[in-house]
Amino acid sequence: MSGCLACKACASQCPVHVDVPEFRSKFLHEYYGRYLRPLRDYLVGTTEWSGQILSKIPRLGNALLGNSLSVKALKQLVGLIDAPALSTPNLANQLTKVEGLLNIEELRQLPSAQKQSAVILLQDAFTSFYEAPLVIHFVKLLQKLGFRVCVAPFRPNGKPLHIKGLLNWFDPLVRKNSEWLQTLATLDVPIVGIEPSMVLTYRDEYPKSLGLKQLPVEIMLPQEWLIQQTDRLRSNRILEPLRSYRLLGHCSEKTLALQSQQQWQNVFKSLGLDLKLEATGCCGMAGTYGHEKEHYDESRGIFKMSWQHHMPNELTQQATILATGYSCRSQVKRFSGFRPMHPLQALLQEITENNSATNTKLTKTVLGNA
């Protein structure tokens, strides 16, 4: 069980739906109810809370965790390596520079007709604290498509707690978050989250914790929501695409949301873009798995076995590689030296460039006619 990647392939592929991550979590909960739990479990389980605190002082946080003494201590005393750097400036500061954002109360007061063009973006610890530009890029993409955006206040999802079997903390958090999500749902506005591992926790671990078949609130992946906006996508169709793209999907996303990869392909197609789906397995990072010292060699081996074959050396070709998982992008950065774009970033780049080219042509036409 210590080698489980929590990809959920077992649950989706096994005829009797054996769910190793689920019974591993329950086993750890029972086992450490009797025996002393290692410090690392608490550090990993509470990363969403510690990340939230440190993200308020990102430069200091990076200095504290990134210096050679801290790196050595984390590796030798805790068994964690390659801790990610916090985004600087943090997301809160970057959001203040984005015009037109709605808060919850403003969203509540919108007329029903205007709510049809509104979206709630649900934050997650990975992108909000360690990849803040991606959140900003998604917001800007939505605005370019004509939507008004409300970035919901951050709430810990609890995924790290579940992975480490801290169910006595996870279950109360699930109940609290479920009530909050149902309050958001009363606004009658779509709720979308970026990070697959977090969004799918609401679909898989949350209902099991609550004893339900499914959560009464729908939290959508970006492509699941975008594919419903075909008319808006086609109205922004790209006339001269910058490049063709290749998508390396997140393993849990592919197993728990079976249509997710094809949906990305259809979203790109609606915009006139080409997206090839690469056949890959797990990248080897698998959340905290690749950050645990004893799993480093296996993590690298898994990456070499599947993902490394798709990694180009040329900068122009690296720009064609897309990955939906934060862990996947971090793993590519660690072993191939570059961070792939998220599909959302590629879409924003294409639409921005297309609009710029269109405006340039329009200006030349007007000047020519004058």
Please give the mean pLDDT across all residues of the chain.
Answer: 92
Examine the pLDDT at 118 and tell me if it is beyond 90.
yes
Tokens of 128: 């909000």
End-to-end CA distance of the chain: 73
Q: Are 267 and 227 in contact (CB under 8 A)?
A: yes
Distance CA 62, CA 346 (A): 28
Q: What are the backbone angles phi and psi of residue 193, rounded to the nearest 5°?
A: -120, 150
Q: Which residues pair with 128 in a beta bridge?
A: none
Give the separation between CA 186 and CA 369, rounded to whole angstroms: 52
Torsion sign, CA atoms 296, 201, 139, 228: positive
pLDDT digits (tens, 9 = 90+) for 34-75: 999 999 999 999 999 999 999 999 999 999 999 999 999 999
Q: What is the pLDDT of residues 297-315, one digit of tens each?
A: 999 999 999 999 999 989 8
Residue 300 near residue 283 (C-beta atoms within 8 A): no
Tell me the C-alpha to C-alpha distance, in Å, between residue 39 and each of 28, 72, 80, 161, 310. 14, 16, 11, 13, 37
For residues 88-114, average pLDDT:
96
Per-residue pLDDT band at 370 (split at 50, 70, 90): low
Residue scoring higher pLDDT (126 or 19): 126
pTM score, whole prediction: 0.93
**Contact between 171 and 104 (Cβ < 8 Å):** no
Confidence of residue 20 (pLDDT cuts 50, 70, 90): confident
Residue 15, pLDDT > 70, answer: no
Question: For 193-221, what is the mean pLDDT?
Answer: 96
**pLDDT tens sequence across 176-189:** 999 999 999 999 99
pLDDT band at 14 (very low <50, low <70, confident <90, very high): low
pLDDT category of residue 203 using cuts at 50, 70 and 90: very high
From residue 147, how far is each of 91, 117, 195 by CA, in Å?
A: 20, 5, 20
Beta bridge partners of 148: 118
What one-character DSSP code corresponds to residue 5?
A: -
Strand-pair category, 118-122 with 219-220: unpaired
Question: What are the pLDDT digits (tens) for 322-368?
Answer: 999 999 999 999 999 999 999 999 999 999 999 876 655 544 544 45
Which residues touch 50 (CB under 8 Å, ≥6 apart)? 43
- Reply yes or no on whether the pLDDT at 279 is more than 70: yes
Residue 366: predicted pLDDT: 47
| Rg of the chain on CA atoms, in Å | 21
Separation between Cα atoms, residue 128 and residue 58, nearest integer Å: 12
* Greater model confidence, 21 or 177: 177
pLDDT at residue 192, rounded to an integer: 98
The amino acid present at 20, given as its one-letter code, is: V
152-168 pLDDT tens trace: 999 999 999 999 999 99
The CA-based angle 74-82-193, given to 5 degrees, is 115
Cβ partners under 8 Å of residue 132, min gap 6 = 87, 89, 90, 91, 94
The pLDDT of residue 11 is 66
H-helix or E-strand spanning residue 150: strand 148-151
Residue range 231-270, pLDDT digits in tens? 999 999 998 999 999 999 999 899 899 999 999 999 999 9
6-10, 116-120, 231-235, 241-245: least confidently modelled range? 6-10
Does position 224 have pLDDT exceeding 60, yes or no?
A: yes
Q: 5 with 289: CB under 8 angstroms?
A: yes
Query: In angstroms, how far apart are the furthest CA atoms of the chain?
Result: 83
